[in-house]
Structure 1
Amino acid sequence: MWIYEKKLQYPVRVSTCNPKLAKFLVEQYGGADGELAAALRYLNQRYTIPEKVMGLLTDIGTEEFAHLEMIATMIYKLTKDATPEQLKEAGLGDHYVGHDSALYYTNASGVPFTTSYITAKGDPIADLYEDIAAEEKARATYQWIIDMSDDVDLNDSLRFLREREIVHSQRFREAVEILKEERDRKKIF
């Protein structure tokens, strides 16, 4: 069961209208290493993982939905005052024609989200290594977006998200060690 607070996990502020930056952020909205893929991956994997770490996948998976909400807010704020011409110049003309200002799950290149982004092997350690890789790829993407941005306010929120990816990676690494010890002790999986 979840309890939803009507506030973002971390405040999102944007200095100016910037559709080009919004286009980059779409990668974290509907891309292979974005927040939606991570949330669905972890909440799916939790069903075939030992109980010792099941709660971790649930906790991080639900937090990823909070991150998705932050990304959606950033994109909205970066584009809400944009003209169709500004959207076109930023490479969002196709999106505008198909969706106006509505968010739509794609990557930054406009490729629609696909469930092939969601991996689950059924081997707990293999899945956790995939999760570590996903978190590290998300961390790198956030850093690259920060590198492309000159919006000090937005970068504050992006740094928060980048740091959460690092924490998630560390927690998944700890879970791998817990399961390896259990596997070696009990000779399972």
Structure 2
Amino acid sequence: MRYTMPTGKAKGVLTDIGTEELAHMEVVASLVYKLLEGVSIEAIKAADLGSHYADHDRSLYWVNAAGVPWVAAYVSATGDPVADLHENLAAEQKARAVYENLIHLTDDPCVKDVLRFLREREVVHYQRFGETLMHVEEYMRQKKVF
């Protein structure tokens, strides 16, 4: 049996959160761009970003902390709404933990403020996915009469 998000409410939540996650990427990109704006080559080398500079100059390139590029294969989808919502819940907790770790790595109060905002949005997303999971499970338990 093929599953998708079975209700308009569930689809709406996924659309809302997905849209906001794209905005998070834009916020992070702007933050990195601003942090690198006007930085000398010597400072880039001292921050161990010489290899990034060699390939991309000061341009953004989506990689994790180890330099592994982001690929669509990171998006997990089984087609089962309950399994996929559990995956989304886990992803939000992982994102929250990464923002927390990043907050500990910086002493810049403005950067910390941005990271705290993003961390709190991940908490809200987690809550909304949890609510949606309960909604979907209830919907799936209901007897369907056509």
Question: Normalising by structure 2, what TM-score?
Answer: 0.91
Which structure 2 residues correspond to residues 18-167 of structure 1 after superposition, within 5 A? 48-51=4-7, 52-167=9-124
SS state of the match for residue 112, structure 1? coil
Name stretches of at least 5 consecutive residues in structure 2 with no aligned partner. none
Q: 1:138-157: CA deviations, max 9, x gaps? A: 00000010011111111111
Q: Return the alpha-carbon distance in structure 1 between the equivalents of residues 138 and 25 of structure 2.
A: 34
Determine if the alignment matches structure 1 residue 178 to structure 2 residue 135.
yes
CA RMSD of aligned residues (A): 1.4
AA of the residue aligned to 1:183: M
AA of the residue aligned to 1:65: L
The CA deviation at 1:93 is 0.8
Which structure 2 residues correspond to residues 2-21 of structure 1 after superposition, within 5 A? none
The ranges of structure 1 where at least 4 consecutive aligned residues each deviate by more than 3 angstroms after the TM superposition are none
Q: 1:7-44: CA deviations, max 9, x gaps? A: xxxxxxxxxxxxxxxxxxxxxxxxxxxxxxxxxxxxxx
AA of the residue aligned to 2:43: Q
Q: Return the alpha-carbon distance in structure 2 between the equivalents of residues 67 and 114 of structure 1.
A: 17
The CA deviation at 1:114 is 1.5
Give the fraction of aligned pairs with identical amino acids, expressed as a percent. Answer: 52
AA of the residue aligned to 2:57: D
SS state of the match for residue 141, structure 1? helix
The CA deviation at 1:186 is 2.7
Q: Return the alpha-carbon distance in structure 2 between the equivalents of residues 100 and 186 of structure 1.
A: 58
The CA deviation at 1:134 is 0.5
Higher CA-based Rg: 2
Q: 1:73-109: CA deviations, max 9, x gaps? A: 1101111121122112212111100010110111121
SS state of the match for residue 91, structure 1? coil
